[in-house]
A and B are shown apart, each in its own frame.
Chain A
């Protein structure tokens, strides 16, 4: 005879993970001990209770959202293949991701053509958590994924400058390494329309997952295929570290500002204030090369 058996051991026995001799002992004990047999039976009822929890089918809103996300993937892939077939894309790069909502064909060119970077840093609101497999960012976080499309579409066709590429960039801020995806759009922003464009973008009520939720540029992301781009990505990394100054970059776009190459950086907002910095082609770890900055209320 053995004494009462602990619930844990009974659970193991019940699950079939108790071996040989001990299992026989327990089995014999259960035949003689109603108390232990009762517990063993109750363990089975725990399973039954778990099984009784019904499981909902995927809600329609969720299905739609996922379908939209997959449709975006299909479009991106098709565009990439078409571009590759047409010889427009000289180098196939695994990291090249479609920016949600940027519907223009992605043409890959060297970043030299575009010197300027627009980085918008804000907090709480995710404008575009671009390129991540996560990118629950724009399309995913909205009930209506069409929204992001509209938003970006307004910009791209107006200037007739397609998004050329996206570039993952890692930078440091407040002791952490952040990853952001820079859009290379070759758009021309002007002093007159910058605030309006940014305001339009930040007015959308997305909330933002943390920048790290973007997750998944693979390791390929750090291996640009041309030295030029390596330099550019590296420069941006330094630039962003300088510009972020302890904050997080919500969005960055390499474009033009007032006809000059520039990067527009939107910082994660403090409260409801979005800080936007436009930095020039010389922006680096040591020199922010700020062309202009503005603060917008996101509310």
Chain B
């Protein structure tokens, strides 16, 4: 059965339609195709936005910018990557853009209160663990890293994207992603030394004599963190 479905993508429910086909239909004028594509990937895309930007309002803006851009630019998709990678890349770029702007203009407008309330109320409900102390501390430490390192770690360590895919989303070499992750982890190490990790028990290790932060972590250079 699965083989048949694969052989004839036109048959059957929409979940059997490939992303590429949905995008093609969208470009051809199908009014529902893009919405379907969005529904398939929205949670992953949201995860990227909310974890790179932290602020729900910013994440919402970035994701909306990205989706509208993807909607309008769909005909420029050339198929040299998977549709998901393409979509993710647009979202990642929108998030980076938002981060840059936020840095340029630190004071952020208040946002629409009712929306913030709605999102604020929805987040804990959907994800009680997100506000756990550990998660909050990890996020807070992460936010102190340079942007590129943050994004690389969110994609690779937090959301478990393969390095190659993260590299494709970011439009950089795989080595660059690895290097950013490495520098980011080295920086996070002393900041997270006190956290016990579920199952792995970071603290135990320090109690058994391996001080977690046994040596000073080299102050990572600001600015370029590219691989050599």
Contacts and interface: CB of A to CB of B under 8 A. Distances in A.
Contact of B123 (A56, A71, A142): A56
A49 B195 contact: yes
A132 to B, nearest CB: 8
Nearest to B159: A55
A113 interface: no
Contacts of B63: 62, 66
Given A133-B72, A143-B118, A205-B112, A53 B51 contact: yes
B77 to A, nearest CB: 16
Given A74-B34, A136-B60, A207 B46 contact: no
Contacts of A4: 215
Nearest to A69: B64
A59 B117 CA distance: 11
Contact of B61 (A6, A39, A73, A140): A140
Contacts, number: 222
A205 B220 CA distance: 44
Contact of A143 (B65, B114, B142, B205): B114
Contact of A213 (B101, B126, B175, B178): B101
B109 A43 contact: no
Interface in B190-209: 192-193, 195, 197-200, 202, 205
Interface stretch (A9-17, A223-231, A286-294): A9-17
Interface in A227-285: none
Interface in B12-69: 29, 31, 34-35, 38, 42-43, 45-47, 50-51, 56, 60-61, 63-65, 67-69
Given A10-B186, A49-B195, A61-B115, A16 B178 contact: yes
B158 A216 contact: no
Interface residues of B, number: 81
A122 to B, nearest CB: 13
B130 A65 contact: no
16 contacts: A4-B215, A7-B186, A11-B183, A15-B182, A35-B215, A38-B210, A43-B185, A49-B138, A51-B160, A52-B135, A58-B45, A59-B119, A60-B122, A70-B34, A74-B34, A143-B115
B169 interface: no
A140 B64 contact: yes
Given A17-B178, A39-B189, A52-B198, A207 B109 contact: yes
A56 B126 contact: yes
A143 B121 CA distance: 13
A47 interface: yes
B218 interface: yes
B86 interface: no
B92 to A, nearest CB: 15
B127 interface: yes
B105 interface: yes
Interface in A10-66: 10-12, 14-17, 34-35, 38-39, 41-43, 45-63, 65-66
A210 interface: yes
Nearest to A123: B109
Residue among B50, B68, B189, B218 with max Cβ neighbours from chain A (10 Å): B68
B126 A57 contact: yes
A42 B212 contact: yes
B142 A50 contact: yes
Nearest to B63: A66
B7 interface: no
B186 A66 contact: no
A55 B160 CA distance: 11
Given A42-B210, A49-B188, 14 more contacts: A7-B186, A10-B186, A11-B182, A38-B211, A49-B202, A50-B138, A52-B138, A53-B130, A57-B46, A62-B46, A66-B38, A81-B29, A136-B61, A208-B109
A73 B71 contact: yes
Given A51-B157, A74-B34, A133-B65, A63 B42 contact: yes
B129 interface: yes
A56 B34 CA distance: 23
Contact of B189 (A7, A12, A144): A7
A62 B49 CA distance: 12
Contacts of B223: none
